[in-house]
Amino acid sequence: MYLFRLLSGLATIALVTADCECGYRARNSTHHGEEWMFTEALETDFSDIHDLSGNTDWIRQGFNVSAEDGRGGFGKSFKPSNVEARPASGGSIDGNANDAGVALRVSSTIEDNLVLSAELDSSRLDLHWGSYRASMKLPQVPGTCAAFFWYFNDTQEIDMEFLSAQFDYTNNVYPLSLVVQSRQSKMAGYDATKTGTYRRVNLTFNPTLGFHEYRIDYLPGKVAFYADSQLLVVMQGEEMPTRGGHMILQHWSNGNPLWSGGPPKSDSLMIVRYVKAYFNSSNPDHLKRQLAACRNEGMTLKDTCLIPDGTAGDAVSGGKSFLKTTDASTKETENSDNDRSDKERGTATSSRAGGIAHSGFVLAMVLFLLEA
C-alpha cells in the first residue's frame, strides 16, 4: 500500500502530452476554490468514431439480468447491437443528424420477457481518484433509466441516473438521481434512497433537448456531482468508495414502477457525444513509474494543464481536448465481432506519464491512497 499526500503547495500527479508533462489540474470555483491534479487522461469523442467493434478504450456489453435479480417486472438483456456509433459524417441510427455520438438504445420489443438494453464500459479497470465527465442527451420516451457511473462493485459505485418517466415537461421538472452505493445500501437491499448517500435534484434545463456535461469528481472521502460545471451535491464520509474501478454508460428498463418504469412504448435513445476522464491509476507500480517520469522533467507547474469547466456549449462542440483524437476503430483487436472480454487491452486515446507537480494553488490537504 502506498500513500501520497497533497499539501498546500504540493500536488501529486502527471500526464503525457507535450503541453501537460506533469498532469491535469481540475478545479471548481463553487467548491471552496479547491484544485486537484491527476496523472492521466482518457478522452473519447464518439462523434468521430465509425465502428465501435474495434475500439480499444470502450467495450460494448452483452449479458442478461433476470426479472428477479433486477427487481423488476421484466428482465434485461444488454445487447452489443444496441450500442451503435453515430458519427458526425453519417450513421445508421435514426434521428437528428446533429445528434452525433454513440447511441444506447432501449428497444420497445420484448424478447423472452427481457427488455433489450445497452451498456458501454471503459476498458481500463484502474480508474481511481479522478474527474469523470460525459456529454449526454437524454431520452424523451418515458420508461427508461439512463446512467453515467463509476463502478468497482455493488458497494463501491457512483451513479448519475435519469428516469425519463419522472420528467415533467409541463412544469419543467427534470429530476436527476445521485447515488453512492455502499455497504449501507447493500443492507437496505440496494435501495440507496434509505441511506444518506442518495440525493434527488432538479436540473435547471430540459436534458432531452440538447447535450449537457455531467461530471463526477471522485476524491478521497468525498464525491462531488456537477451539471455543466455547476455543483449539485457533495457527499462525504466513510461510505465513499476507496478502490479503482471503471466507467459505465448504461440505458435500460425492467418495468419496475418504483424506478425505471416502462418498458418504453417506442425505442428510446440515450446519446453520448464524449467522455473525458482525468484520473490516477489505482495500480501503484503504474503510478510510481509516472511519478518518476515527471520528476525527471523538473516538476514545474507550467508542465501541467488546467482542465476547463465544461459548459452546455462545450457539451455540443466537444470543448477543450488535450489529446489528439483518432478513430480507434481502425485498430486491430481480437474477437472484434463480439467485443473483447479482456478489459485490460490497450487504450488508443488515453494519455500516460507521471510526476509530482508543485502547485501553490492546491489549497486542501488530500490523501491519495493507492491500494496494492
Confidence class for position 301, pLDDT limits 50, 70, 90:
low
Q: What are the tens digits of pLDDT across the range 87-117?
A: 987 554 444 557 999 999 999 999 999 999 9
Q: Cell for 46?
A: 464518439
The yes-or-no verdict on residue 365 having pLDDT over 90 is no
Question: Is the peptide bond between 207 and the residue preceding it cis, with omega within 30 degrees of 0?
Answer: no
Calculate the CA 222 to chain-centre distance: 16
Residue 9, pLDDT > 60, answer no
Are 149 and 160 a contacting pair, CB within 8 Å?
A: yes
User: Can you read off the three cell numbers belonging to residue 12?
Assistant: 501529486
Strand partners, 160: 148, 178
Mean pLDDT of 22-37: 78
> Which pTM value belongs to this model?
0.82
Helical spans, DSSP H, in the chain: 67-70, 183-187, 284-297, 312-317
Cα separation, 176 vs 71, in Å, equals 21
Q: Is 62 exposed, middle or buried (0-12, 13-18, 19+ CB in 10 A)?
A: middle
Q: Which residues are CB-neighbours of 234 under 8 A, at least 6 positions away? A: 31, 222, 223, 224, 225
Residue 119 C-alpha from the chain's centroid: 12
> What is the SS3 string spanning 231-287?
EEEEEECCCCCCCCEEEEEEEECCCCCCCCCCCCCCCEEEEEEEEEEEEEECCHHHH
Task: Summarize the confidence of residues 9-19 as an average pLDDT.
Answer: 39
Share of the chain above pLDDT 90, in %: 63
pLDDT at 290: 75
What would the grid cell of residue 164 be?
Answer: 425519463
Burial of 174 (0-12, 13-18, 19+ CB in 10 A): buried
Domain ranges of the chain: 2-320+347-370
Q: What is the rounded CA–CA span in Å between residue 335 and residue 123?
A: 14
Q: How far is CA 122 from CA 82, 223, 226, 367, in A?
A: 17, 20, 21, 25
Q: How many residues does the chain have?
A: 372
Q: Tell me, which fold does domain 2-320+347-370 have in CATH?
A: Jelly Rolls (2.60.120)
pLDDT at 12 over 70: no
Cell of residue 216, nine digits: 463526477
Q: What is the pLDDT of residue 293?
A: 72
Residues 239-252 have pLDDT tens digits of 999 999 999 999 99
**CA 84, 352, 155, 372 torsion-angle sign:** positive
Q: Is the pLDDT of residue 177 over 60?
A: yes
Residue 142, preceding peptide bond in cis (omega within 30° of 0)? no
